[in-house]
Every structure is written in structure tokens, then in C-alpha cells.
Structure 1
Amino acid sequence: MRKASLYAVLVVMALISLIPFYVLVFTAFSPSSVSLADSGLLLRHLEWGNLSDTWKQSKLGNAMLNSAIIMAGSVGLSVIVSAGAGYVFARIGTWYNKLSFNILLFSMMIPGIINTVPLYSLMKSIHGINTHWAMILLLATGFIPQSVFLYTNFIRTLSKEIEESAVIDGCTLFEAFWRISFPLLLPITSTLIILNSINAWNNYAQSVFFLQSQARQTVPLAIGRFVQTYGANYTQMAAAALIGMLPAIAIYFVFQRYFVKGISAGAVKG
């Protein structure tokens, strides 16, 4: 009975969390003259033309390409750097490594938005405004502290014997990690890919400052500019938001199998 009650509560919570998404889909596919109240909560006719019209008018194709480049670069860079750093912190317990790890943990408590002014000055001095590479470095730097923390705690749960055996067989410590240990980090790597990809795809605070050119705008900027141009057309606004979120949803479904396992092992064990 207790277990059934728990499942019932979870189902209710899941349904409540799906309400905003349902309203978004309903608005995106409904005729502009039909409201949620008028239809009795059920959409009887899908207006697929809303998506095609919004796609053409909002120029989301170029924005998606920009977002994909920045997302792939920042997530890939953060995974490579964080996995290597996490391995060092987990396996080599020197005082210097412990101090560096604590500094990384402290940096996680600093809101990234407060660094906008000095970052803008830095980006301008290195000619990084309106460039993909600068945004990749910026976002990857923001992802690294949390990623290192999760990698470090996850690696501490792995047995050292398999790495030691590889070293005895002639592998260097570097080779032992990337060939033997890194494939075992798939759960936490998948978790970080999901978290960091969604954060990179949805990033607005930094993008609005450092990607001022329309040719370099990302999906959130393109949607914001689209709304400013065409006004409060809720059907098109919902269609643009739905199109913009589809890649992030796809990434989650690809890697969600390992998500819970990775986040629990990386954050609790150690």
C-alpha cells in the first residue's frame, strides 16, 4: 500500500510537470484563433504550417548551427579536461591537488553573471566578440568545476587494480586512464553531456553580450529577436520555442539511460 501511494504521488508530480509542455505543444499546433479554453483542452486539428512558417521567419536554422557548434565544442572540451583533472585529483592525493580541488569547489559557489563586465573586457582584448571559439572557451570554463567534482568522486569509486595491471603491462599512467579507466566513466560522462549540453544550448546571459552579430546568434537569441520583431503572436512564439527545444530533448533521450546512475554515483559516493 505504501509503495502504491508513493507511485501515485510520483505520477501526479510527473503529470503536473508536463502541463507547461502540453500547453506549449497545444499553442504551437493550434490555429491562432483557437485558445485552450475554447477547445476543451483537446486539439482537434494540427496546424503543421505554424512550424514551417515560424522556421522561415525566425531563421532558426542558422541559429541552431551556431548553437550546435558552441555546444559540441564546449561540452567536448569540458569533458576531456575535467576527466583528466578528476583522475589526477582522485588518484594523486598531494596537498597541492587537494588545495586545487578545494579552489574548484569554491568557484562553483560564485554566480557566473557577476563576471560579465571583466569577461567582456577580456573578450574584447583578445578579439573574441562574435566568435565561436571564444564562446566555447567561456562556456567550457564554466562547466569544468562541477564536471571535475563529479568525475573525481566517480573515479574514487573505481578499483585501482585494473589501472595498476595496465601500468605493469607497459602502459603509462596517461594511457592507463584513457584506454582502461575512461571507458568505465560512461555513466558520469553521459550525465555531464546532458547537463552541460542543455546549459550550453539554453545559454542566454553570456550569449547576449558576446554574440551581438545576427549571423552568430544562438537559438535563445534568435527566439528573442523573433518575438521582438513579430510581437506577441503566441502561436508563433510557442512554435519557435518548440523547435528550439527539440535538439536538447533528443540529447537527453540519447543519454538518459545513464543519467541517474551517473549523477548519484558522482555526487554521493566518494
Structure 2
Amino acid sequence: MRKLILYVILAIVALVSLIPFYMLVYTALMPDSDPISDSRLILRTIEWSNLQHAWAQSKLGNAMLNSLILMAGSVLLSVFASAGAGYVFARVRTWYNRLFFAALLFSMMIPGIINNVPLYGLMKSIGGINTHWALILLIATGFIPQSVFLYTNFIRSLSKEIEESAVIDGCTPFTAFWRISFPLLLPITSTLVILNAIGAWNNYAQSVFFLQSQDMQTVPLAIGRFVQTYGADYTQMAAASLIGMLPAVAVYFIFQRYFVKGISAGAVKG
């Protein structure tokens, strides 16, 4: 009976969580452009042309390409940089390492958006406005503190004997980590790929500052401009939003197998 009650509660929570997504799909595919006056729960007819029209009018194709470049670059950079830094913090126990680790944790409490104004001057001076490489560095930097924190605690839970055996067999500490230990970090790496990929894909505050050209706009910027044009057409806004969220959802489903395991292990072990 206790398990039955638990499953019923979980089912209710899952159902409530899916309601916004269902309403988005419902509004995106409905033939009527006024969902507020529609009281039906199930669509009688599905208007697939809404997605086609939203795709053409919002220019999401180019925006998705820009978002994919930013997402892939920032995720790869943040994961590999954070894994190396986390290994040093976990394995080299010195007072200055503890000091740097504490400073890194403190930086997690600073909202990234407050740095946009001074960063704009820096980005302009180095020619980083309307460039992918500069925004990749900026986004990855925002991901690194949390990623280093999770990697450090996860690596501390791994046995040192595996790395020591590899060093005895002739590997350098660098090679031992990347060839022996890093593959064991798949759960936490998958977790960070999901978190950082979704964060990069949904990044708006920094993109609107540093990507001013329409050709460089990302998915959030494209949808924002589309909403300004079709602000009264809820169907078209929902269709554009549905298309824009699909890649992030795909990333989650690919790596979700290790998501819960990685986030729990990285948060509590150490």
C-alpha cells in the first residue's frame, strides 16, 4: 500500500509537470489561432503547417546552427577544462588549492548577468562582438565553477590505486587520468553535458549583448524577435518555441540515463 501511494503521488507530479509541455504542443498544432477561447482537451485536427510556417518566418534554421556551434564549443571546453581542474583539486591537497577551490565556489554565487556591461568593453577591445569564439569562451567560463565542483567531488570518490597502477606501468599522471580515470567519469560527464548544453542553448542574456547581427542570432534571440512580430498569434509563437526546444530535449534524452546517478554522486561524495 505504501508503494502504491508513492507511485500515485509520483504519477500526479509527473502529470502536472507535463501539463505546460502538453499545452505548448496543443497550441502549436491547433488550427485555431486563439487558444484562450478553446476549451477542448484533445485536438480534433492537427495543423502541421503551423510548424512549417513558423520555421520559415522565424528563420530558425540559421539560428539553430549558431546555437549548435555555441553549445558544442562551450560544452566541450567546459567539460575538459573542468575535468582537469577537478582532478588537481581532488588529488593535490595543498592549502592554496583549497583556497582556489573556495574562491571558485564563491564565484558560483555571483550572477553572471551583472558582468555583461564591463565584459562588453573587453569583448569590443578584442574584437569579440558578433563572433562565435568569444561567446563560447564566455559561456564556458560561466559553466566551469559548477562543473569543477561536481568533478572534484566525484573524483575524490574514485580509488587512487587505479591511477597509481597506471603510473607504475609507465603512464604519466596526465596520461593516467585521461586514459584510465576520465572514462570512469561518464556519469558526471553526462550530467554536465546535459546541464551545460541546455544552459548554452537557452542563453539569452549574453547572446543579446554580444551577438547584435541578425545573421549571428541564436534560437532565443530568433524566437524573441519572432514574438515581437507575431505577438498576438499564440499558435505561431508556440510553434516556434516547440521547434526551438527540440534539440535541447534530444540532448537530455541521449544522456539522461546517467543524469540522476551523476548529479547525486557528484554532490554528496567527497
TM-score category (smaller protein): over 0.9
Equivalent in the alignment of 2:190:
190
In the alignment, the residues of structure 1 paired with residue 29 and residue 54 of structure 2 have an alpha-carbon distance, to the nearest angstrom, of: 11
The normalised TM-score by structure 1 is: 0.98
Contact in 2 for aligned 1:26/1:36 (Cα 8 Å): no
Q: Work out the CA distance in 2 between the residues paired with 1:145 and 1:43.
A: 45
Residue identity opposite 1:132 in structure 2 = H
How many residue pairs get matched?
A: 270
Aligned to 1:10: 10
Q: Does 1:22 align with 2:22?
A: yes
**How far 1:116 moved relative to its partner?**
1.1
Query: Which residue is equivalent to 1:69?
Result: 69
Q: Name structure 1 gaps, 5 residues minimum.
A: none
C-alpha RMSD over aligned residues: 1.0
Matches within 5 A, 1:230-269: 230-269=230-269
Q: Taking structure 2 as the reference length, what is the TM-score of the superposition?
A: 0.98
What letter is aligned with 2:11?
V
Q: Please give the alpha-carbon distance, in whole angstroms, between the structure 1 residues aligned to 2:112 and 2:38.
A: 44
State how far apart, in whole Å, the 1-side matches of 2:40 and 2:27 are.
Answer: 13
Deviations 1:51-103 (A, max 9, x none): 01111111000000000000000000000100000000000101111111111
Contact kept? 2:33, 2:235, Cα under 8 Å: no
Greater mean deviation of Cα atoms: 28-37 or 255-264: 28-37
- Once the two structures are overlaid, the 10-residue window that deviates more, 44-53 or 141-150, is 44-53
One-letter identity of the residue aligned with 2:175 = E
In the TM superposition, what are the counterparts of 1:1-270 in structure 2 within 5 Å? Answer: 1-33=1-33, 35=35, 38=38, 40-270=40-270
In structure 2, the residue corresponding to 1:206 is in which secondary structure?
A: helix
CA contact 1:28–1:50 (8 Å) conserved in 2 = yes
Q: CA deviation at 1:39?
A: 5.2
Per mean C-alpha deviation after superposition, the further-off stretch among 108-117 and 60-69 is 108-117
Equivalent-residue separation in structure 2 for 1:268 and 1:6 (angstroms)? 24
Q: Alignment partner of 2:205: what SS?
A: coil
Letter in 1 for 2:157: T
Deviations 1:204-229 (A, max 9, x none): 01111111100000000000011112
CA–CA separation in structure 1 for the residues paired with 2:262 and 2:41: 38
**Offset at 1:38?**
3.2
Q: CA deviation at 1:269?
A: 1.0
Q: Which segment is superposed worse, 151-160 or 6-15?
A: 6-15
Give percent identity, aligned residues only.
80
Following TM superposition, by how much is the alpha carbon of 1:231 offset from its aligned partner in structure 2, in angstroms? Answer: 2.8
In the alignment, the residues of structure 2 paired with residue 245 and residue 6 of structure 1 have an alpha-carbon distance, to the nearest angstrom, of: 31
Query: Aligned AA for 2:137?
Result: L
Tell me the distance in 2 between the aligned counterparts of 1:38 and 1:141.
45
Q: Deviations over 1:153-199 (max 9, x none)?
A: 00001011110000000000000000000000000000000000000
2:82–2:144 Cα contact (<8 Å) kept: yes
Ranges in structure 2 where 5+ consecutive residues have no aligned partner: none
